[in-house]
Structure 1
Amino acid sequence: MNAFTHGPAGLRLVVHCDGACIGNPGPGGWAATIKVMDGDQEISRTEVVGCEPAKTTNVRMEMSGAIGALRALPENDGTPVAVFCDNDLVSKGMNEWLPGWIARGWRTAAKKPVANVDLWQELLALSAGRVVTWYWLRGHAGDPHNEEVDALANAAAVRACQETQLP
């Protein structure tokens, strides 16, 4: 439990996102849930799911889950957003590493190009002007929201795998 998901009255958006790959690289899927919350009361809920039949990676699918969620958010009215993901690369990237990457021209501290720069730039653009807080949570540790998006992302990855086998 966390103060963002359970707390005093006040609107906030709570996002859980995940990605999955069959093989790495391989066909992949992603999913997210978006809940409009007022205190402990869920006002509305949206699911977004997508897949990539071409070879992709687990990290790209994790990032795609966050992108899909941010694309599906309601119009920005200043409502704070919490994004929960079980890939610490996504949360650390958005919380810690992004300013350095930008300052170094999208290079890491080791002066190598940032992997998946296209997706990082999209996450940056989609979160611009919003109050977004990124949280890491341990995957497969019994969090029901994470387990739900994990199942949705894996089902999308299976669909992507089936699409690659179509004649």
Structure 2
Amino acid sequence: MGLDKIIIYCDGGCRGNQSDNNIGGWGAHLQYRDHKKELYGGVRDTTNNKMELTACIKALEAVHGNKSIPIEIYCDSAYVVNGMNSWVRGWIKNGWVNSKKKPVENQDLWKKLLFLSSTHENVKFIKVKGHADDEGNIRADELANLAMDNETGN
């Protein structure tokens, strides 16, 4: 058997992203060897970016046990992947102020995701193309949509 690792696909979405009365949802599909776990949830009055971050947070919160097993998080959100792989170092150095000299949005979620990532020895964030033919990404999207459907009663 090859390298042991936990594979996580995360997705978030928001219907009516720019309105005051919107529905958000997130989904995560986790796999370790033959074990699979699916998580999802919905909220009102949120943003797409918050849902993308929440999916990753909830997925990492669900990982228990050996902290040395590598984790690969696949996400179609450039916001999350670029944030964790690059931007976050500058934000920390600059006191959570972005390149436009404004406070970083969703700081609470970024800090929580950063903390959860740091509790494992090896977490990688990998960008995947959204709505393509990646089975794990498609499932995470389905879970996020299921959460939004549940929130609206559809």
1:148 maps to what in 2? 139
Indicate which of 33, 38, 43 corresponds to 2:29: 33
Query: How many matched pairs?
Result: 150
SS class of match (1:47):
strand
CA distance in 2, matches of 1:153, 1:49: 6
Q: Which amino acid letter does the alignment assign opposite residue 62 of structure 1? A: E
Which residue in 1 is equivalent to 2:89?
A: 99
Asked if 2 retains the 8 angstrom alpha-carbon contact of 1:30 and 1:50, the reply is: yes
Question: Which residue number corresponds to residue 4 of structure 1?
Answer: none
Pick from 41, 52, 75 the counterpart of residue 50 of structure 1: 41
Q: Distance in 2 between matches of 1:77 and 1:86?
A: 25
1:14 maps onto 2:10 in alignment: no
Residue pair 1:15, 1:32 contacting (<8 A) in 2 also: yes
Check if 1:136 corresponds to 2:127: yes
Separation in 1, partners of 2:59, 2:42: 14
Percent of residue pairs identical: 39
* Unmatched 5+ stretches in structure 2: none
Question: 1:86 corresponds to which letter in structure 2?
Answer: D
Task: Give the match's secondary structure for 1:11.
Answer: coil
CA distance, structure 2, for counterparts of residue 22 and residue 129 of structure 1 = 33
The reply on whether 1:157 has 2:148 as its aligned counterpart is: yes
Counterpart CA distance in 2 for 1:148 and 1:134 is: 18
Aligned partners of 1:22 and 1:158 also within 8 Å:
no
Distance 1:76 1:114 in 2: 32
Q: Contact (CA 8 Å) 1:22, 1:161: kept in 2 or not?
A: no
Give 1:9 shift.
1.2
CA contact under 8 A between 2:39 and 2:143: conserved in structure 1? no
Q: Within 1, Cα distance between the matches of 2:70 and 2:30?
A: 12
Work out whether residues 67 and 119 of structure 2, in 8 Å CA contact, stay in contact via their aligned partners in 1.
no
In structure 2, give the amino acid aligned to 1:158.
D
Whole-angstrom distance in 1 between the partners of 2:145 and 2:5? 27
Provide the rounded CA distance (Å) in 1 between the counterparts of 2:150 and 2:141: 14
State the one-letter code of the partner of 2:53: M
Alpha-carbon distance in 1 for matches of 2:48, 2:69:
30
1:63-113 CA distance string (max 9 Å, x none) = 111111000012243000000000011000000011100111101022111
**1:155 Cα shift?**
1.2
Could you say what secondary structure the match of 2:80 adopts?
A: helix
